[in-house]
């Protein structure tokens, strides 16, 4: 799909040429060349302020066969001082959606016209190609459809004076990051009657087979033998069998220095006997956003092949109600041997992650990151733009934070002082209380999982506020965001 070239080739025709224009800037050199064939019409349009330069504004200019691009799209970038990678992503996303609407299949992009201060050419190309993939994603619907296939962009030629083979490699990496994120989005958006734990395991196997990963799934009988009482207790209220899904990417001869990603795979969460309110409960199909992020990251990892051993563990179940469902006041025993008093059955994510984290350690994880749509409290604390963090190791958190800065997926660490730990020990009948109260709810929920990480360096990412959006953006529709797939992939690549 992606090609590179140093000039706008006269031997090739394009459906569209895409060029960025900053405020108070003249025509980019590539437009100056095109303008010779257009008898200076582009320069006239710029002088008349009809080539819009305000950030996010698009101008469409037809060439009427006078150039080797049928249409020129100029993309307003605003001032250079305020233009950053997020601005670039939105600009590329917007124009990519427009050319798709206009059904233009073969594009040329003047990469140099989108240059920004402080960013390398590699970062620029990665952001452009990633953004094109992200903008292309559409949420599946189940309405009666016509026979017309969705339109897709067929080819993109990246043009720049320094273009060489390295550009192609970076472009393919950007594409992989976009595709992996879109996989995460797709999984989050699937209805709960379609995305069961069994189907999630099948999707995970597709990723494993695609990239040659080692793959395994524990069934209920396996979990019983291993003593995974926490996951089994949550799954008891559903007719769908639980799954413990495992993928391994081994980059070195020895299985050592292993980074373990653990994703919450709750494919639908009604809250169990501690039933959720009916309003917006349909969004609880997305309670497996952590699992989706892990699988999206593994898809990216399969493409970029980092020199690091990666383990993915996904405990998966539903949280529903039947005669066998977990009850408030029940005491269960997790795989680690710790007992848990269940004060609230809607605090189930931390329960299945308890066994997921313990199993990841058993499989050799030396470092852990868990990702989960864990608490509503994180939205109160941080809104829907920042992922909340609880961790037990500053050095390991610093690495995760650096990866989040690369992906531009913001995270923020909560305090974890001793009084928060003490709240978890407030049960008179068990080692831990799974729901010690509303105060500091995101912190105590994260620290509960940390009880099972123990001394292993561990970071918990609460994506309850960031894994789902109700807004349309230049790179996404309402629904799953795929958040943290790229952060985990950058962490693996370090």
CB 360 within 8 A of CB 260: yes
Strands 258-263 and 365-372: parallel
Question: 469 Cβ partners below 8 Å, 6+ apart?
Answer: 384, 476, 478, 479, 481
- Report how far residue 328's alpha carbon sits from residue 430's, in angstroms, rounded to the nearest whole number: 13
Closest CA to 198 of 211, 217, 224: 217
Closest CA to 265 of 216, 297, 231, 225: 231
- Report how far residue 465's alpha carbon sits from residue 23's, in angstroms, rounded to the nearest whole number: 35
- Report how far residue 243's alpha carbon sits from residue 360's, in angstroms, rounded to the nearest whole number: 14
Active site residue 276: yes
Active site residue 350: yes
**Residue 269 marked as a ligand binder:** yes
User: What 3-state class would DSSP assign to 376?
Assistant: coil
**Residue 264 marked as a ligand binder:** yes
Compute, in degrees rounded to 10, the torsion defined by CA atoms 63, 64, 68, 74: 20
Separate counts of helices (H) and strands (E) for the chain: 15, 20
Q: Which of 185, 350, 361, 486 is catalytic?
A: 350
**Residue 168 marked as a ligand binder:** no
Q: Which of 276, 327, 333, 338 is catalytic?
A: 276
**Residue 222 marked as a ligand binder:** no
**Residue 454 marked as a ligand binder:** no
- Report how far residue 437's alpha carbon sits from residue 416's, in angstroms, rounded to the nearest whole number: 16
In degrees rounded to 5, what are phi and psi of residue 258?
Answer: -90, 130
Q: Across-strand partners of 260?
A: 311, 368
Strands 310-319 and 387-391: unpaired
DSSP assignment letter at 476 = B
Count of beta carbons in the 10 Å neighbourhood of residue 107 = 23
- Report how far residue 449's alpha carbon sits from residue 168's, in angstroms, rounded to the nearest whole number: 42
Quote the tokens at residue 262.
């653990």
Binding residues for Mn(2+): 264, 269, 287, 346, 348
Mark the binding-site residues, compressed into ranges: 264, 269, 287, 346, 348
**Residues acting as catalytic residues:** 276, 350
């Amino acid at each position: 799909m992606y090609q590179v070239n140093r000039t706008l080739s006269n031997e090739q025709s394009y459906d569209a040429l895409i060029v960025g224009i900053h405020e108070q800037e003249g025509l980019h050199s590539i437009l100056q060349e095109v303008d010779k064939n257009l008898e200076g019409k582009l320069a006239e349009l710029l002088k008349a302020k009809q080539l819009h330069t305000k950030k996010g504004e698009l101008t469409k200019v037809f060439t009427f066969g006078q150039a080797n691009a049928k249409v020129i799209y100029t993309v307003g970038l605003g001032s250079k001082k305020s233009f950053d990678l997020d601005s670039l992503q939105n600009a590329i996303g917007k124009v990519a959606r427009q050319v798709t609407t206009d059904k233009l299949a073969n594009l040329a992009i003047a990469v140099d016209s989108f240059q920004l201060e402080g960013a390398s050419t590699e970062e620029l190309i990665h952001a452009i190609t990633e953004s094109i993939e992200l903008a292309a994603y559409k949420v599946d619907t189940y309405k009666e459809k016509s026979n017309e296939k969705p339109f897709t962009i067929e080819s993109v030629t990246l043009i720049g004076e320094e273009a060489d083979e390295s550009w192609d490699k970076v472009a393919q990496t950007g594409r992989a990051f976009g595709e992996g994120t879109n996989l995460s989005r797709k999984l989050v958006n699937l209805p709960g009657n379609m995305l069961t734990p069994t189907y999630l395991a099948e999707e995970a196997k597709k990723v494993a087979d695609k990239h040659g990963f080692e793959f395994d799934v524990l069934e209920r009988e396996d979990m019983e033998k291993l003593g995974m009482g926490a996951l089994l207790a949550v799954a008891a209220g559903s007719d769908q069998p639980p799954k413990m899904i495992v993928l391994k990417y081994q980059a070195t001869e020895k299985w050592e220095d292993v980074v373990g990603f653990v994703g919450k795979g709750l494919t639908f969460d009604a809250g169990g006997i501690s039933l959720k309110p009916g309003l917006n409960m349909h969004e609880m199909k997305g309670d497996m956003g952590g699992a989706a992020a892990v699988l999206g990251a593994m898809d990216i990892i399969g493409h970029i092949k980092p020199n690091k051993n990666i383990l993915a563990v996904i405990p998966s179940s539903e949280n529903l109600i039947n005669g066998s469902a977990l009850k408030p006041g029940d005491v269960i025993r997790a795989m680690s041997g710790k007992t848990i008093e269940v004060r609230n059955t809607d605090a189930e994510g931390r329960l299945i992650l308890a066994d997921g984290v313990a199993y990841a350690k058993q499989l050799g994880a030396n470092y852990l990151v868990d990702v989960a749509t864990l608490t509503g409290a994180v939205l109160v604390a941080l809104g829907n733009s920042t992922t909340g963090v609880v961790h037990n190791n500053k050095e390991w958190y610093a690495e995760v934070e650096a990866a989040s800065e690369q992906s531009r997926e913001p995270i923020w660490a909560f305090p974890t002082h001793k009084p928060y730990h003490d709240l978890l020990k407030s049960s008179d009948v068990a080692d831990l209380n799974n729901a010690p109260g509303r105060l500091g709810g995101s912190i105590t929920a994260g620290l509960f999982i940390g009880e099972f990480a123990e001394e292993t360096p561990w970071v918990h990412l609460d994506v309850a506020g960031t894994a789902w959006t109700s807004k349309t953006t230049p790179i996404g529709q309402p629904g799953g965001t795929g958040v943290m797939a790229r952060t985990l992939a950058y962490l693996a690549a370090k």
